[in-house]
Amino acid sequence: MSDIHFETVHFSGRVQGVGFRYATLQVSREFEVAGWVANLPDGRVQLEIEGSKAEVDRFVAAVEERMHGHVRKTERSAARRAPQFRGFAIR
């Protein structure tokens, strides 16, 4: 199995209690990506996402656009690995 682009993304700002995870789930249906999104105890939202680099980039940009006004900071770290996710979920 070939490697795929994978990213861990942390969103900061007013990202909990505003429908962020549900909006991210809705946006995920427009892209060929797999992974999950979850609230963190420190008030951030974590996104684990895999797909082609271009598709992941477009997906993260779409989430930022959809949640404009709530996201103050986006931190991304990327790697290549074997695919591990199927579908997209809220955790």
The residues annotated with a catalytic role in the active site are: 21, 39
Q: Please tell me the distance from the alpha carbon of residue 79 to that of residue 57, in angstroms, as a whole number.
A: 13
Q: Please tell me the distance from the alpha carbon of residue 64 to that of residue 45, in angstroms, as a whole number.
A: 12
The SS3 of residue 23 is helix
Of 78, 82, 8, 79, give the one whose Cα is nearest residue 44.
8
